[in-house]
Amino acid sequence: MFYLKLIIRNSFRHKLRALLTITGIAVAILAFGLLRTLVGLWYLGVETSSSTRLVTRSSISLVFTLPISYRERIRHVPGVTEVSTMNWFGGVYITEKNFFPNFAVEPRTFLSIYPEFILTPEEKKGFLADRQGAVAGRKLAAKHGWKVGDRITLKGTIFPGQWEFVLRGIYSGAQKSTDETQFFFHWNYLNETMRKTVPRRADQIGIFMVAVDRPDRAAEVSRAVDALFKNSLAETRTETEKAFQLSFVAMTEAIMIAIQIVSYVVIVIIMVVAANTMAMTARERLSEYATMKSLGFGGWHIATTIFGESLFISLLGGLLGVIGTFPAAKWIETELSQFFPVFAISDSTIMLQMSAALVVGLVAGIFPAWRGITIPISAGLRRIG
């Protein structure tokens, strides 16, 4: 109890210096937490991928489409339980700044393959029955003030024109990590319009979503699907949903590595700042440490005092940084939802933040503690200030 009181009193002996140091550590820990969360979210699609879902696309590139006739042939491959279609639509709501992911899908099979998108029975029935029907994620609907029954117009980019939809459902995610900022509508609505306006673009699919009965059959089914269309005019590449997501992540891997490096550089910088603060504190108190030695206090008493002060300041700043991370993450998730539909702080990130604060406190206290322990009593008592 004595040491605890001494540590707290020493920590705030220079109030302005202590407050500035704590604030600096808090900001650094907050930034570290947000950067680590960003890196984790970049891989979220990979981590949440289903082991029983495959993606079949053109073997050349995603920009090349596949014939709709492939669907039934894929459906008859042993191990396949369901096949759905998906086209990236790329529509814009009012202005480009309102961009959000929107897809043309085959509703019945799509909802079967993706049970994490939850609709009420009434919403699901309305969506399936209405050719112009669409569903939107809860966060997307809240952002634009949509409600079931509203008419929504998207301006096509890949598929030019003004496309009108009726919102028949607002889905919720089964898990917190489920993206609730997407928009889905009937592929048949898109296809029928293409038949009338640009016939050569009709009956074409961007990707097929394939459900398999067991995860251990994924590789076998992938090979079987690709073998069906080998040497055809539109060869396919089938891979697990996780591998499909990883292909996108790989494109920006260098950026993610850079962000990880920056997150650790932030900690190193604040570690140097905290070490400098503690070094100044120790230099000012050398005469006090010498006095303690002359009164019979051992080196470990002095080390405990110095390390305790360093850890108290660092951990207090770290705790404030962790607390500040949550409103900052909430703001990012709300205001930048088109870029970060899910921005949740994980338990592992909090542990990393507090571990970083602990390391800062320990490292910052090493030199001052060594200086306080090793200074001779006579040399310490000669120092003034």
- Percent above pLDDT 90 for the chain: 35
- pLDDT at res. 360: 84
Number of domains in the chain: 2
What pLDDT score was predicted for residue 98?
81
* Whether the predicted pLDDT of 119 surpasses 60: yes
Cβ distance 308 to 9 under 8 Å?
no
Same domain for 36 and 72? no
> Quick one: 147 and 225 in the same domain?
yes
Domain boundary among 234, 261, 296: 234
Q: Is the Cβ–Cβ distance between 274 and 361 less than 8 Å?
A: yes
Question: Could you give phi then psi for residue 54, rounded to 5 degrees?
Answer: -115, 160
For residue 112, the model assigns a pLDDT of 92
- What 3-state class would DSSP assign to 11? helix
pLDDT the model gives residue 74: 94
pLDDT band per the 50, 70, 90 thresholds, residue 345: confident
In a domain, 288, yes or no: yes
For 322-339, write each residue's pLDDT tens digit.
Answer: 999 888 888 877 776 666
Q: Which of 71-80, 178-187, 279-288, 366-375 has the lowest mean pLDDT?
A: 279-288
- Work out the average pLDDT over 171-189: 88
- How far, in Å, are 89, 92, 121, 341 from residue 170 at the CA level? 19, 19, 12, 15
> Which letter does DSSP use for residue 246 in this model?
H
268 and 301 fall within a common domain: yes
Residue 275: pLDDT band with limits 50, 70, 90: confident
**Tell me: the pLDDT tens digits for 355-384?**
888 888 888 877 777 776 676 766 656 655
Provide, rounded to the nearest whole percent, the portion of the chain with pLDDT above 70.
84
Gap between the Cα atoms of 42 and 40, Å rounded:
5
Answer whether residue 14 is part of any domain.
yes
- Per-residue confidence (pLDDT) for residue 240, from 0 to 100: 86
Mean pLDDT (the chain, rounded):
84
Residue 243 lies in a domain: no
Identify the domain containing residue 27 by its residue range.
Answer: 2-44+253-382
* pLDDT reported for residue 250: 65
Most confident of 207-216, 250-259, 288-297, 309-318: 207-216
Whether residues 223 and 88 share a domain: the answer is yes
Contact 165, 126 (CB under 8 A): no
Q: Indicate whether 155 belongs to any domain.
A: yes
Task: Read off the pLDDT of residues 193-203 as tens digits, 9 standing for 90 and up.
Answer: 999 988 888 99
Domain contains 49: no
Q: Are residues 170 and 274 in the same domain?
A: no
* Residue-level pLDDT at 339: 65
Whole-angstrom distance, CA of residue 283 vs CA of residue 290: 12
Asked if residue 30 and residue 88 are part of one domain, the reply reads: no
Cα–Cα distance measured from residue 83 to residue 142, given in angstroms and rounded to the nearest whole number: 31
pLDDT at position 286 is 63
Q: Quick one: pLDDT at residue 384?
A: 54
Q: What is the mean pLDDT of residues 178-191?
A: 91
Examine residue 65 and state whether it is found in any structural domain, yes or no.
yes
Asked if residue 76 is part of any domain, the answer here is yes
Look at residues 154, 166, 184 and name the one whose alpha carbon lies nearest to residue 87: 184
**80 and 221 housed in the same domain:** yes
CA dist., res. 288 & res. 380, Å (int): 8
* pLDDT tens-digit series, residues 103-118: 999 999 999 999 989 9
Domain co-membership, 35 together with 160: no
96 and 164 together in one domain: yes
Q: Please report whether residue 242 resides in a domain.
A: no
DSSP string, 24-61: HHHHHHHHHHHHHHHHHHHTHHHHT--TTEEEEEESS-
Whether 307 and 377 map to the same domain: the answer is yes
Q: 374 to each of 10, 289, 290, 293, 311, how far by Cα in Å?
A: 20, 10, 10, 11, 21
Residue range 4-23: average pLDDT? Answer: 77
Same domain flag for 259 and 333: yes
DSSP state of 217: G
Domain boundary among 169, 199, 234: 234
Arithmetic mean of pLDDT, 280-293: 68
* Domain end marker among 171, 205, 234: 234
Residue 338: predicted pLDDT: 62
Domain identity same for 184 and 101 = yes
Evaluated on CA atoms 59, 240, 140, 147, the torsion sign reads: positive
